[in-house]
Amino acid sequence: MEVYLEEYFGLECPHCQRMQELSKKIEKEIGVTINRFEVWHNYENMKKVEELDPKNECGGVPFFINKKTGKTLCGEVSEKEIRDWALGK
């Protein structure tokens, strides 16, 4: 199965923790896989975020990208927004 959904987070980030709970719920509900990458303690993962967000429009984490649609999400978003993102809407 192709995995094209990615979530970037900081381990101690409270916003990231809340979004990760939500993304895991959505993942189970709609049957998708989201690859997760910690960036605050992993330089290689941080470089990935910089490549995916070269203009630093998000400015940090949580950062989500749907590589199939190119759609990104920045920061805390609603359950509907993350579901639509995962579904490619």
Percent of the chain with pLDDT over 90: 88
CATH number, domain containing residue 49: 3.40.30.10
- The per-residue pLDDT for range 52-86, each reduced to its tens digit, is 998 888 888 999 999 999 999 999 999 999 999 99
Percent of the chain with pLDDT over 70: 98
d(CA 53, CA 76): 17
19: buried, middle or exposed (CB in 10 Å: 19+, 13-18, 0-12)? buried
Q: Which domain holds residue 41?
A: 5-87
Question: What is the number of domains present in the chain?
Answer: 1
Half-sphere CA count of 32, side-chain side, radius 13 A = 23
